[in-house]
Structure 1
Amino acid sequence: MRILLVEDEKKLAHAIQEHLESAGYEVRVAGTGEDGFFLMSTTPFDLVVLDLMLPGRDGIEILSTLRARNATTPVIIITARDAVEDRVHGLDTGADDYLVKPFALPELLARIRALLRRGISETKLKLEYAGLEMNLVTREVTRDGCSIDLTFKEFEILEYLLRHCGSTVTRAMIVSDIWQEVARAAPLDNVIDVHMARLRKKVDAGFEQPLVHTIRGVGFILRSVR
């Protein structure tokens, strides 16, 4: 999940970014209204955390322009303005939630999770490819109706492959996006190989057509043909 944080207070922005990234989100930070508006206009985000008092364009102007373009990205306003009329104005402009400073970072995280859950459509709750089905809510995985029992990490890897089906997933991508490590290391390559071997056995055992393939020297791919 990609989150845009538009906040000009550097210390607060850094604290929020660290907290959200530790929870597994990818966070981009903009320190001005202009930078925030540019990123919203050019890059897809799953959610925006938007301060109201910003240099350049203020948060309300950004939000009203965003909604005028029929953008449905969830927006949480964070601000020191705690008057009732300010909250009403922000929500009427198109904000999905409103949090008054100072606030606890776990509360912001909880509100983000709630909004993202609310925004998930039914089509995103299941991933499917070549008879392989994954339910992201129940965490059930089947292939041609046969249940596949996966560990937590195997589930994460298979979900990643399904989201990139037909495209090569490099080891560096797996290290960065699943293990959340900045740099690759040989020991982690060995761990990935072990997980992939177990996952391949569970997904492909007993089926004539393998789905999980190794691209030698590069990574892995989920596809129905060699």
Structure 2
Amino acid sequence: MKVCLIEDDLELGRALQSALQDAGHQVVWVRRVADALHWVREERFDAVLLDLGLPDGSGLDLMRKLRAEGATVPILVITARESLEDRLSGLDLGADDYLVKPFAVSEMLARLRAVVRRSTGRGDSGETAWKARDLQLDDKMMTVTRAGAPVALSPTEFALLHALMRYQDRVLTRRELEARALPHSDGPALDVHMSNLRRKIGDGYIRTVRGVGYVMER
């Protein structure tokens, strides 16, 4: 998994970064709201670990902004705020889970795996084959087949299809898809590539959510 760790405490941040890396995860560690916004907007993360007390703002405000922008990345809040009101506020603003400090690293890792499983239906199992009815994508072999017949896609089309199949039943925003497959292109390019992708795989797989993005439904 690729995890964005947002924690301003140096000692705890180093410990969490080390624990995540020891568990085989890739970690981007930031300590400020401004840096967190940049990374989560520009990179594709499987999960976010979010402290609420940050030096340049509130973690709750950060989460509210990300959710308002359409970010669907799973967020596990890690905080010393333990009141019921704080927990409910965090969950209502978009947190997928809430863990009170101090906590056991093993519990943090387990909760992280759980929020990713709930979000993607797969978690960090290492699977490389993704299916949607008779459509199959093999991430490792870089192949796509429909009813057993090969489908030739460009690298950009493959990246778009991979994102949609990996996160089936989740609406992926235009920003998310552009960041994953078209980081240096403008908006209209996404529509062109999506049109080509739909033509190649056939109708009935990808649904447009007007004004938001696209979703592949099971």
Instruction: Indicate the TM-score class for this superposition, using the shorter chain for normalisation.
Output: 0.5 to 0.7
C-alpha distance in 1 between matches for 2:141 and 2:21: 23
Residue 17 of structure 2 is matched in structure 1 by: 17
Residue 119 of structure 1 is matched in structure 2 by: 119
Instruction: Flag the 1:104–1:134 CA change in 2: closer, same or farther, 3 A.
Output: farther
- 8 A contact 2:129–2:139 mirrored in 1: no
Residue 93 of structure 2 is matched in structure 1 by: 93
Q: CA deviation at 1:160?
A: 6.9
Q: Deviations over 1:74-133 (max 9, x none)?
A: 0011111111101110110010000111111110000011111122248x96617xxxx9
Is the counterpart of residue 162 in structure 1 residue 141 in structure 2? yes
Residue 55 of structure 1 is matched in structure 2 by: 55
- 8 A contact 1:127–1:162 mirrored in 2: no
Residue 195 of structure 1 is matched in structure 2 by: none
Structure scoring higher RCO (CA < 8 A, sep ≥ 6) equals 2
Residue 44 of structure 1 is matched in structure 2 by: 44
Q: CA deviation at 1:162?
A: 2.7
C-alpha distance in 2 between matches for 1:101 and 1:85: 16
Instruction: Flag the 1:103–1:163 CA change in 2: closer, same or farther, 3 A.
Output: farther
- 8 A contact 1:63–1:95 mirrored in 2: yes
Q: CA deviation at 1:69?
A: 1.2
Residue 73 of structure 1 is matched in structure 2 by: 73
Residue 27 of structure 2 is matched in structure 1 by: 27
Structure 2 residue runs without a partner (length 5+) = 145-153, 156-218
SS in 1 for 2:86: helix
Q: Deviations over 1:154-196 (max 9, x none)?
A: xxxxx873369999xxxxxxxxxxxxxxxxxxxxxxxxxxxxx
Percent identity at matched positions? 40
Q: Which amino acid aligns with 2:4?
A: L
Moved over 6 A (4+): 164-167
C-alpha distance in 1 between matches for 2:139 and 2:128: 13
- 8 A contact 1:74–1:115 mirrored in 2: yes
Q: Which amino acid aligns with 1:162?
A: M
C-alpha distance in 1 between matches for 2:77 and 2:61: 12
Higher radius of gyration, 1 or 2? 1
- Report the TM-score when normalising by structure 1: 0.56
C-alpha distance in 2 between matches for 1:27 and 1:15: 12
C-alpha distance in 1 between matches for 2:12 and 2:34: 19
Q: CA deviation at 1:14?
A: 0.7
Q: Deviations over 1:134-153 (max 9, x none)?
A: 99xxxxxxxxxxxxxxxxxx
Instruction: Flag the 1:127–1:68 CA change in 2: closer, same or farther, 3 A.
Output: same
- Report the TM-score when normalising by structure 2: 0.58
Cα RMSD of the aligned pairs, angstroms, is: 2.9
Instruction: Flag the 1:112–1:163 CA change in 2: closer, same or farther, 3 A.
Output: farther
C-alpha distance in 1 between matches for 2:109 and 2:83: 23
Instruction: Flag the 1:12–1:119 CA change in 2: closer, same or farther, 3 A.
Output: same
Residue 202 of structure 2 is matched in structure 1 by: none
